């Protein structure tokens, strides 16, 4: 548990940032809440009432001195402010200056690639741990692929099927999608033949057999999420394919789908999760043999908080599989089965291998 250690959350008053702040408080850390709007940070802190409270330290992303003040005395930083194309580099730079681990929840393929490309060497040299996409997309899926692999070091294919009951996107999700689309000139991306491939093919509609009770569902194939970066960063798998439940993909595409709403009241210590449920069904194949990992839970935004906060706890405790430092994906840095087991209050996982 945190026992009063300070962890900075950049983008603290965003939808995901609030879940991360709540998770840190629950685990005994003192969150330093940072971001560009001082008023919204103060409001967030006030909502926690009297007590040890939150440490409010505003910082725009283009002010290195303010970022340094925000990270002073922190043992780690979690970046929840997207678009990460804008925020990741300056917050990583600040984390490197402060000599503390950096974790983000980025689901922007190009921004995730940039983090590996631009900071790999420097993070290694600085003996710093940088973990991008430590969230539902990218992090959880990578842990599941790694867990399903077991003793395999390579495989022919990995298939990651997202069975979301619905997808009410936040403003941040919509912005991330728009920024990524613009960065790839409206093209699509898939991971095939051992590399990322940009293309203009229509995405196929397929049937995926999710485990019961969900069963067979229509999915959109080649629906690439951050796992096309995180999985190949440490596993030799030439085909990494994503699939998204067709209803959820339609929700995401529709301009009028509302943002997620808390069903448990949402204020104070209430349950701020939405009613959305998820099944992530991962299948890996090697030489005609199939292994599988299935995760179930509620609310893809809410569940990103225990993923990111658990990661900070494991890095601070040195539970990093001897990989040392650098830009690392969740499955590379943590014992995937142990890590997923530690999250059993939030995610139920079954392995078939
Ligand atoms: N990998 C995953 O599974 C996963 C899970 C959850 C979230 N995410 C990603 O995390 C990001 C945030 O999502 P969300 O749901 O929390 O969205 P949100 O509620 O819209 O929050 C976005 C946050 O980012 C801040 N922000 C945006 N641009 C900024 C900038 N230039 N400088 C400083 N702060 C900035 C916003 O502050 P202002 O209000 O002041 O603009 C706000 O605090 C999105 O990119 C989303 O894709 C990924």
pLDDT tens column, 88-142: 999 999 999 999 999 999 999 999 999 999 999 999 999 999 999 999 999 999 9
Strand intervals (E) in the chain: 6-10, 30-34, 55-56, 76-79, 102-104, 129-131, 157-164, 188-192, 195-199, 205-209, 216-221, 239-245, 277-286, 289-298, 326-327, 347-352
CATH architecture, domain defined by 6-134+304-335: 3-Layer(aba) Sandwich (3.40)
CB atoms within 10 A of CB 49: 8
Q: What is the pTM of this model?
A: 0.97
Taking the centre of ligand 1 as the mean of its atom positions, its distance from the CA of residue 171, in whole angstroms, is 8
CATH number corresponding to 136-299+337-352:
3.30.360.10
Taking the centre of ligand 1 as the mean of its atom positions, its distance from the CA of residue 175, in whole angstroms, is 8
Parse the chain into domains and list their residue ranges: 6-134+304-335, 136-299+337-352
Contact 161, 300 (CB under 8 A): no
Contact 67, 59 (CB under 8 A): yes
pLDDT number for residue 53: 81
Taking the centre of ligand 1 as the mean of its atom positions, its distance from the CA of residue 14, in whole angstroms, is 6
Taking the centre of ligand 1 as the mean of its atom positions, its distance from the CA of residue 291, in whole angstroms, is 34
* Each residue's pLDDT tens digit, 262-309: 987 554 556 899 999 999 999 999 999 999 999 999 999 999 999 999
Q: What is the mean pLDDT of residues 49-53?
A: 74
Contact 239, 231 (CB under 8 A): no
Cα-based torsion angle of the residue sequence 26, 31, 34, 40 in order, rounded to the nearest 10 degrees: 50
Tracing tokens 């629906």 back to the chain, one arrives at 223
Is ligand 1 within 6 A of the CB of residue 20? no
Taking the centre of ligand 1 as the mean of its atom positions, its distance from the CA of residue 351, in whole angstroms, is 32
Is ligand 1 within 6 A of the CB of residue 105? yes
Tokens representing 143 are: 């842990």
Is ligand 1 within 6 A of the CB of residue 168? no
Is ligand 1 within 6 A of the CB of residue 176? yes
């Amino acid at each position: 548990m945190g026992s009063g250690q300070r962890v900075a959350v950049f983008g603290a008053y965003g939808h995901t940032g609030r879940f991360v702040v709540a998770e840190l408080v629950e685990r005994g850390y003192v969150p330093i809440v940072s971001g560009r709007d001082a008023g919204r940070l103060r409001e967030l802190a006030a909502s926690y009432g009297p007590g040890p409270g939150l440490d409010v330290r505003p910082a725009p992303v283009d002010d290195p001195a303010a970022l340094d003040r925000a990270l002073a005395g922190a043992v780690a930083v979690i970046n929840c402010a997207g678009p990460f194309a804008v925020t990741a580099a300056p917050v990583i730079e600040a984390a490197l200056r402060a000599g503390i681990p950096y974790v983000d929840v980025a689901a922007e393929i190009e921004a995730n690639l940039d983090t590996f490309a631009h900071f790999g060497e420097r993070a290694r040299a600085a003996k710093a741990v940088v973990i991008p996409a430590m969230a539902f997309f990218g992090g959880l899926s990578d842990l599941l692929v790694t867990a399903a692999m077991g003793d395999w070091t390579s495989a022919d294919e990995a298939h990651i099927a997202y069975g979301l009951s619905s997808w009410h996107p936040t403003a941040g999700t919509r912005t991330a999608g728009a920024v990524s689309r613009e960065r790839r000139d409206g093209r699509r991306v898939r991971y095939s033949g051992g590399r990322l491939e940009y293309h203009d093919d229509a995405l196929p509609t397929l049937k995926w057999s999710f485990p019961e009770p969900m069963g067979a569902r229509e999915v959109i194939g080649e629906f690439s999420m951050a796992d096309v970066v995180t999985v190949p960063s440490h596993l030799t798998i030439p085909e990494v394919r994503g699939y998204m439940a067709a209803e959820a993909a339609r929700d995401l595409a529709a301009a009028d789908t509302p943002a997620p709403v808390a069903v448990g009241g949402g204020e104070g210590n209430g349950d701020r999760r939405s009613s959305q449920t998820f099944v992530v069904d991962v299948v890996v194949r090697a030489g005609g043999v199939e292994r599988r990992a299935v995760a179930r839970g509620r609310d893809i935004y809410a569940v990103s908080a225990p993923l990111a906060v658990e990661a900070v706890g494991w890095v601070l405790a040195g539970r990093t599989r001897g990989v040392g430092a650098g830009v690392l994906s969740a499955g590379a840095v943590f014992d995937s089965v142990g890590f997923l087991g530690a999250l059993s209050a939030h995610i139920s996982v079954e392995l078939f291998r």
